Structure 1
Amino acid sequence: MPDSSTKPIALITGASGFVGRYLARHLLEVSDWTLALVSRNEAGAVRLADEYARYPDRVAALAADISDAKAVQEALARTCPSYVFHLAAQTSVKDALDDPAATLGNNLFSTLNLLEGTRALAEPPRLLAIGSSEEYGHVRPEDNPVDEHTELRPDNPYGVSKVATDMLALQYVFSYKLPVIRVRAFNHIGPGQSDRFVTASFARQVALIEAGKQEPVIKVGNLSSQRDFTDVRDIVRAYYLAITQSQPGEVYNLCSEQSTSIQAVLDTLLNFCTVRVRVELDQTRLRPSDVPLIVGNAAKFRQLTGWKPAIGLRQSLADILDYWRAQVRSEP
């Protein structure tokens, strides 16, 4: 670790992932903290070290498989963080449906290992446990906008796993007085997100079509669902505010408080497209259960911190498409 005797250390699990990279950059901009960036293996840690090589005094990359309790304990003992952002998780609903056991085991036991590891420290750090709107699951129309008191009715294994980690984190607050803050982040999007997720999937297909690398046909699932989208750059601002300003034991929704149909997302991207495109339904992209509408209520967090999204959906989608255009140009 860099010499940080006078500065707080923030440890980020899942630091090589989509949100982890945005969070690390944000913390480097707004704080003087030293960052301990955790990757699952040595190869990932080497890539992180290279990525942040210009911050030798502020960033250290560590290899630690957080499904391994001993590895987690060693990483925490080595870094003695003041803050822990627990981002690492299996987040794909499709993957969770394909392999429920892997998602449940990965998400629950990695969280357990982290909670046990922080409990063993002489001064347990403030820990931000990242939940999801998927915890609310089967939302009835009259439940919208969803606040933190809305009943949790997860309708897929990923949502179940996040309810489990949410409640486990709360139990450690009650049982051991750990300073854990929980957030339930609604759909967040941005440049660099995997095309396993809907906005990136559409944008990549548009970019491939524009480049002549795909027939002018976009494969889609259910377009009628309405979701609450927030730019990842706004979400990481919220994570920083949550871990520094929120009350341990509390839970906060993070969302735009606006509902947008998947059809509207696709239409916006097609308006940006430079060629005519046909849309076709792909049955493999349909979920067994798909809630028609979910929109969040972030009043609790907004009143505490003043946070609200600054980047509109249209700008987010434009940035996502530009990212995929660049990616497609660089592909052979």
Structure 2
Amino acid sequence: MTAPPSAAPMLSVEEMSVGYGRRTVLADVDLRVASGSITAVLGPSGCGKTTLLRAVAGLEPITAGVIAIAGRTVSGAGRHVPPERRDVGLVPQEGALFPHLTVRRNIGFGLRGRAGRRERVDELIDLVGLHDLADRRPGSLSGGQRQRVALARALAPAPALIGLDEPFSALDSGLRTRLRAEVGVLLRSSGATVLLVTHDPAEALALADQVVVLLDGRVHQVGAPEELYTAPADFRVGELFGELNRLTLDGEVHFLRPHELTLARTGIDGLPGSVAAVEFRGSHHLVSVAPTDGQPPVAVAIPATGEVPEPGTAVVVRAGRS
């Protein structure tokens, strides 16, 4: 369960900037991550997502602002706590497992010399469902299994914060969807506080309590997944979560998704146009309509079982489903 808004955040980033010479990568970033919650940082390649995660982990110096973890300042105000003392468990894109160590020894690597090490490793092996593979080396595991080992290794010392850097990007789409669901359950059951970096909106919507949209090194919007999907701050934010139409109806500009529109015959109120193209998308057809008033093409979703107009057909686009 996500901590209540009044609780002190596990991670606090205030007016943080990161730059290299004259190049600014991140500017005035503010972020709060509640204890026990999952926050996804979403944005296109090159927007600064990974730099943000690396700065939190202590792998990148900041040029301005403050980073605090569990109430302790780790960056800023003349202070830079090294990565190994930040209490952050980091899972990179490829997992970065030690190829010569077994699953068991990989998971227990950060627990050397600690009391209860064997019990903790066994607990995590059971948590990630790899008990039968505990004595294998990473080279004999599938991509999804290796990612689960990397996650267990990060969880082993019970860090204040887990950082996930595009953890599913190297997997095929089917495995990515299955593993995403599994990892979501694992993270919730562990009670971990998570900062997830991703360019995949499906990951952000499925896993996160809070989504931070990062564009051009700046935070554009922060909110619950449902809020960002249904009420994006602007068109750029809305586009990240799938196809979005920007069209004028009755003199007002609207951001509407294809499934929020419908097609009708001519002669009724709406935006007149003609069908330019039709694409079959499995669960639905996506109909591209060229408005007669010169607005950009409008995408309308029609159920796969619905009647699909031919290209060139005169239609009217209306807001709302019929």
Question: TM-score of the superposition, structure 2-length normalised?
Answer: 0.29
Larger Rg, first or second structure (1 or 2)? 2
Question: TM-score of the superposition, structure 1-length normalised?
Answer: 0.29
